[in-house]
Amino acid sequence: MDFLRPAGWEEALAAKAEHPTAVPIAGGTDVMVEINFDHRRPEYLMDLNRIGELREWAVGDEHVRLGASVPYTQIMEHLRTELPGLALASHTVGSPQIRNRGSVGGNLGAASPAGDAHPALLSAGAEVEVESVRGVRRIPVEEFYTGVKRNALAPDELIKAVHIKKASGPQQFSKVGTRNAMVIAVCAFGIALHPDSRTVKTGIGSAAPTPLRARVAEDFLNAALEEGGFWDNGKVITPSIAKQFADLVSGACNPIDDVRGTAKYRRHAVGIMARRTLGWTWEQYRSAGTTLEGAA
Ligand SMILES: Cc1cc2nc3c(=O)[nH]c(=O)nc-3n(C[C@H](O)[C@H](O)[C@H](O)COP(=O)(O)OP(=O)(O)OC[C@H]3O[C@@H](n4cnc5c(N)ncnc54)[C@H](O)[C@@H]3O)c2cc1C
């Protein structure tokens, strides 16, 4: 196995163009497991750790541009206000050691349906910036996941950054696992209220071949909130609306039975998480007094 160590981004793109089978390594918390267990024996390993810009982030007016290799710990420490859903999801990843090394770029590269960043990215609204010697592409995150552990990257492309919409309202992330830490999600759910556009977005993890949004549930909820004037009057969401939303989120799942849980359990648990997180975020929205003026 040859080890490539590009000193900068352009060099990395050139190396990837020359060796499209080269496997990039950022934190290595997925790649090294695969190599150690002999699940993967790449011809070339390409270390991205000398490329400082991949570990930088920038907070703009509407979006955060998060370098692909920014570790979860930094997101938890510095981006809690702008990206509350992703910060909550970051808290649940592995252990402190894994959070110090693991990155959102690596989560996207691995594209596991159980990756914790995905529900948060889907619900916040995000685009993945990818680049090759041929040019730059911005891929909406919902189009990035193409199958189980498959993504939209071409063989010569690398992930440079993720552009994530800054929170304009409360966000939540919820994960079911067999214990509190060091656990891959049995299933997970992310929700983000967007009072600026009067919409709610969702993200489901580990309950379908790819992470996905529950679009029918979102459409139902958005229409119900609009019709009832909820964004303006800040009323409590009725149990029947919450239940229908949860049922529709459940219905969006397409899970499998595996060692971590059954399909039936996953569908059920995702529905419960949807109802609870909707309640939490809506309560936060009401109590923050972001009704009327905040939604204007
Ligand atoms: C003990 C343990 C516990 C874990 N717990 C969790 C958990 O709770 N939740 C969770 O979601 N994950 C968990 N993981 C998995 C892993 O930590 C995450 O997926 C993490 O986000 C991977 O980031 P990384 O930087 O280490 O990626 P790496 O291992 O370096 O790379 C992962 C994949 O992405 C590709 N890649 C990396 N950077 C780029 C780039 N810039 N462009 C293109 N491709 C790229 C790599 O080639 C590889 O295919 C755990 C892993 C371990 C070992």
Rg of the chain over all Cα atoms, to the nearest angstrom: 19
Give the tokens for residue 190: 């992310």
Q: Which domains can be identified in the chain, with CATH numbers?
A: 2-165 (3.30.465.10), 174-295 (3.30.390.50)
Tens-digit pLDDT profile for residues 157-180: 999 999 999 999 999 999 999 888
Q: What sign results for the dihedral spanned by CA atoms 149, 153, 156, 159? A: negative
171: helix, strand or coil? strand
What are the angstrom distances between the C-alpha of 109 and each of 80, 154, 186? 23, 11, 20
Query: Which residue owns the Cα nearest ligand 1 atom 32?
Result: 106
Strand 57-59 and strand 23-25: pairing? unpaired
In ligand 1, the atom with minimum distance to the C-alpha of 118 is: 11
What are the angstrom distances between the C-alpha of 220 and each of 97, 267, 270? 41, 18, 17
For residue 106, pLDDT over 90 is answered with yes
Ligand 1, pocket residues at CB < 6 Å: 23-31, 33, 48, 68, 92-94, 98, 101-103, 105-107, 109-110, 115-116, 158-159, 182, 184
Distance 159 CA to ligand 1 centre (A): 13
**Average pLDDT, integer, range 172-198:** 95
pTM of the predicted structure, to 2 decimals: 0.97
**Average pLDDT, integer, range 271-296:** 81
**Average pLDDT, integer, range 272-278:** 98
Distance 164 CA to ligand 1 centre (A): 19
pLDDT band at 295 (very low <50, low <70, confident <90, very high): very low
Percent of the chain predicted with pLDDT > 90 = 94
